[in-house]
Amino acid sequence: MRVSVRSMILKPRRLVSSFSRIFSTHSKIEMSNLEEAKKLAAYAAIDNHVQSGNVVGIGSGSTVVYAVERLAQRVQTEKLKISCVPTSFQARQLIIKHNLKLSDLDITPSLNVCIDGADEVDSNLNLIKGGGGCLLQEKIVASCAKQLIIIADFTKNSCKLGDQYKKGIPIEVVPTAYVPIKRKLESRFTGEIDLRMAINKAGPVVTDNGNFILDWKNFDQTLNWENVNQQLISIPGVLCTGLFVNMAKKAYYGMADGLVKVQE
């Protein structure tokens, strides 16, 4: 859009409105690209890793929406026989919405594959998960699957954890222990430990399992994540961490150019 000098001087309100439209359109294009990238990754993973007779773990998050969409399409067109185990309330609702067979770990404790998203993936396939607060159930379901396949857009692919994702490593804790756990973490590690607070609610975020989440921010990126994870879960009251180390078999990233990058 071309804006004349005269309109800039004489009609500042109109100018602001014009630029607002430009920025709004640009933002919509970027969001559209990200959504398309998520869809590409999700469809590729479902097509490559799910077959008839499988029990599939369904993860949480915005990219998983497209994975369930693709599963439903394949069930409809290919008559796949699959069962789905959710990792969260959101995942359960997606399974029901798309008329897929709902199962749980009591009925099917062994899964063929778990398809899930991630907040960040490093060069060694270490993950940060739990930005949506479902880390405990996600880790349980993933641990019951023969393979964990990650789906994400290109913004989640990093060299080191913390390069791009700045909201911290989630740590799910028993509510009555969050203060002593916070103090122990602050004395043991560098960085900041914050109790995750709810939006539009007076108080902290409460997980599907009734627990609190501490977010560990500005951590040392050179740490050995396997050792760190072991240290964290050894603290009484810590139920789970958002560090998924040595768990993912492969990651699919939808790229901005319309291709899919595979990391394994």
The pTM (predicted TM-score) of the whole model is 0.87
State residue 30's pLDDT score.
64
- The torsion defined by the Cα of 126, 130, 135 and 139, in degrees rounded to 10, comes to -20
pLDDT tens for 106-137 read 999 999 999 999 999 999 999 999 999 999 99
Checking if the pLDDT of 9 tops 50, the result is no
CATH number of this structure's domain 30-254: 3.40.50.1360
Query: 15: which DSSP letter?
Result: H
Domain ranges, ordered by start, for the chain: 30-254
Which residues are known catalytic residues? 138
Integer-rounded Cα Rg, in Å, for the chain is 21
Question: Within the chain, how many helices (H) and strands (E) appear?
Answer: 7, 13
**Tokens 């599907």, residue located:** 208
Taking 3-state DSSP, the helix, strand and coil percentages for the chain, each rounded to the nearest 5, stand at 40, 25, 40
pLDDT tens for 201-239 read 889 999 999 999 999 999 999 999 999 999 999 999 999
Tell the burial category of 249 from Cβ atoms under 10 Å away from its Cβ (0-12, 13-18, 19+).
middle
Please enumerate in sequence order all residues whose Cβ is within 8 A of that of 106, keeping only pairs 6 or more positions apart, or say none. none
Phi and psi, residue 207, nearest 5°: -75, 175
State residue 175's pLDDT score.
98
Three-state secondary structure call for residue 24: helix
User: What does the block give as tokens for 39?
Assistant: 């869809």
Beta bridge partners of 243: 128
Query: 197: which DSSP letter?
Result: B
